[in-house]
Amino acid sequence: MSNPDNPNKDRDWSVVLEDGVAKTNEPVSSATASTGAPTQRHEPHEPPRTQMPEKLYEKRKAVHNKRIDGPFRRFKWFVMFVTLAIYYVTPWIRWDRGPFAPDQAVLVDLAHRRFYMFGIEIWPHEFYFVAGLLIMAGIGLFLVTSAVGRAWCGYACPQTVWTDLFQHIDRFVDGDRNARARLDKAPWGPKKIARRGFKWSIYLLISLATGGAWILYFADAPTLFHDFFTLQAPMVAYATVGILTLTTFTLGGFMREQVCIYMCPWPRIQSAMLDEKSLIVTYKDWRGEPRGSLKKAKKDPEHFGDCIDCNQCVAVCPTGIDIREGPQIGCITCALCIDACDRVMKDIGRPRGLIDYATLEDCREEALGHPAKPVWKTLLRPRTLIYFGVWGAIGAALLFALGTRTHTDLTVSPDRNPPYMLMSDGSIRNSYTLKLRNMESRPREMVVAIEGLPGGKMWTDTIGADEAAATQSFNVPADQIRTVRAYVVAPRDATSREFTFRLTSQDEQRETDTVETRFDAPAGGS
């Protein structure tokens, strides 16, 4: 509220009034202009904002995209088929790891804290492999975006894949674009209820299969599948399937482009990844404008561009945007508008590429009459090469670590209270907890030896003190950790010092692992 005694006290000085029009370089808000007031920015290159929006959130308008055929549409078919096949089929693939390990090719075994992927087994202490893969995925997303825009969003994003699948179901049940629009506007009656019920039942079945496939990655797929439908599965399995069924049904069936425009953070993040040298789906306005119908263009070809304002690019867009308005948050770079526009250009005898994958830099050059840069030169630029180099370096490091890792591991935890005990014969005893890790899918004999502790001997809870020795042998089950309570004794004249436990597998691999720890004694030492 303004101050009547001093009207300039609460004035926003970033706003300039010229001929009744408020102009500002700051974000326009209700504090600077009333609803519906004409408001523009100072700078002429800024897009004009002719009035304040009455609401910050626009009510969803149903998008009924038209069917189209072309190279990009066929590529979307291919990606959708491959990604859905991978998701639904992978849990059922078997992989022989021997009699002591699960035979599911891809398995996240939470109960035993293992991750299996074909011939690779990841243990909890090797989580850096998973972290490395996640980092590679992030950098790969940056690489793809900087090179070809939001291609991930347009082709491989789960929201895109399931939305595309549900849109094909819409066409199968309700018909193409015009038929779906008519049915949408039609009053509810037996025919509409039957169609909606049939279509939503298909939605529900796909959503249920989606949630059901997810839980199969976390347990033996055939066993859990049987237990699920005989009501013997854990309650968490039913809860997970219920949540994923609901989210898939809602997001893929009814929210669709709303997820891309309002919910997903990636459209906001991508602005940092794109520049004028990134390949994006672009409308070449210098060639298409001014727009006019085909009849008008034939009568006066000098005054009209190639765009005949047929709106086919809008009709096929899965998010319902008009690419001719320029790059915008709703564009997922699926390139279906390119297929539609190229078909129209072919029908009217004009060159393709009015809407095309192009960089903003190349568009400016083309507008000046210069030839477009080859795609390979556009992709091979410093930014994408740096992303690819970092991505490849991380991948190479992970492969090297995977190839050089051993399947034997030892962990040692000394007791701290008391640090040592004096035995009746004057010798000194320390206690340790050893964890012998066998990462092979077969039992292995392992030997633990004491090094660097003169006169040191060891026994355990299962090996009596009368059998104490500098080395002890243990049988470690397949793909498990054996915990050993070890007691190390040294002569009475021993001093505090560092020494080593060495673990050696007694097989053809002869893998070893060493851990340095401390022996505490009354007499000081190094």
With beta carbons less than 8 A apart as the criterion, state whether 464 and 122 touch: no
* Neighbour-count burial for 316-336, b at 16+ CB within 10 Å, e otherwise: bbbbbbebbeebebbbbbbbb
Within a domain: residue 502?
A: yes
Instruction: Indicate if 352 and 433 belong to the same structural domain.
Output: no
Other C-beta atoms lying within 10 Å of the C-beta of residue 385: 12
Write the DSSP symbol of residue 428. E
Indicate the residue among 373, 395, 423 that finishes a domain: 373
Tokens representing residue 284 in the block: 């070449």
Within a domain: residue 497?
A: yes
Instruction: Indicate if 333 and 428 belong to the same structural domain.
Output: no
Instruction: Indicate if 355 and 439 belong to the same structural domain.
Output: no
In sequence order, what are the beta bridge partners of 496? none
pLDDT at 1: 45
To which H or E segment does residue 450 belong? strand 444-451
CA–CA dist 126, 252 (Å, integer):
36
Instruction: Indicate if 423 and 349 belong to the same structural domain.
Output: no
**Predicted TM-score (pTM) of this structure:** 0.77
In sequence order, what are the beta bridge partners of 39? 22
Backbone phi and psi for residue 184, each to the nearest 5 degrees, phi listed first: -65, -40
pLDDT at 23: 58
* Residue position matching structure tokens 């609460």: 10
Whether the predicted pLDDT of 379 surpasses 70: yes
* Residue position matching structure tokens 């672009």: 282
Within a domain: residue 156?
A: no
CA–CA dist 306, 342 (Å, integer):
11
Instruction: Indicate if 423 and 500 belong to the same structural domain.
Output: yes
Mean pLDDT across 196-204: 95
Within a domain: residue 337?
A: yes
Greater pLDDT, 126 or 458:
458
pLDDT at 299: 81
Task: Write out pLDDT tens, residues 126-159.
Answer: 888 989 999 999 999 989 988 888 889 999 999 9
Whether the predicted pLDDT of 439 surpasses 60: yes
Mean pLDDT across 294-312: 85
Within a domain: residue 499?
A: yes
Mean pLDDT across 352-379: 85
Whether the predicted pLDDT of 484 surpasses 50: yes
In sequence order, what are the beta bridge partners of 482? 436
Task: Write out pLDDT tens, residues 382-431.
Answer: 888 999 999 999 999 999 998 888 889 999 999 888 888 998 888 999 99
Within a domain: residue 368?
A: yes
- The number of CA neighbours under 13 Å toward the Cβ of 462 is 8
Whether the predicted pLDDT of 9 surpasses 70: no
At CA 97, angle to CA 408 and CA 508, rounded to 5?
A: 45
Write the DSSP symbol of residue 466. G
Range of the domain at 343: 275-373
Lowest average pLDDT, out of 298-302, 314-318, 448-452, 505-509, goes to 298-302
Within a domain: residue 11?
A: no
Categorize the per-residue pLDDT at 290 as very low, low, confident or very high, splitting at 50, 70 and 90. confident
Lowest average pLDDT, out of 32-46, 305-319, 324-338, goes to 32-46
Query: How many domains would you assign to the chain?
Result: 2
CA–CA dist 361, 398 (Å, integer):
37
The CATH number for 413's domain is 2.60.40.10
Task: Write out pLDDT tens, residues 221-266.
Answer: 999 999 999 999 999 999 999 999 999 999 999 999 889 888 888 8
Residue type present at position 399? L
Within a domain: residue 455?
A: yes
In sequence order, what are the beta bridge partners of 497? 519
Instruction: Indicate if 355 and 412 belong to the same structural domain.
Output: no
DSSP reduced 3-state for 101: coil
Task: Write out pLDDT tens, residues 333-352.
Answer: 999 999 999 999 999 889 99
> Taking the mean position of all CA atoms in its chain, how far away is CA 379?
23
Task: Write out pLDDT tens, residues 78-92.
Answer: 999 999 999 999 999
Lowest average pLDDT, out of 3-7, 56-60, 125-129, goes to 3-7
Mean pLDDT across 465-486: 91
Greater pLDDT, 315 or 57:
315
Greater pLDDT, 299 or 237:
237
Instruction: Indicate if 354 and 304 belong to the same structural domain.
Output: yes
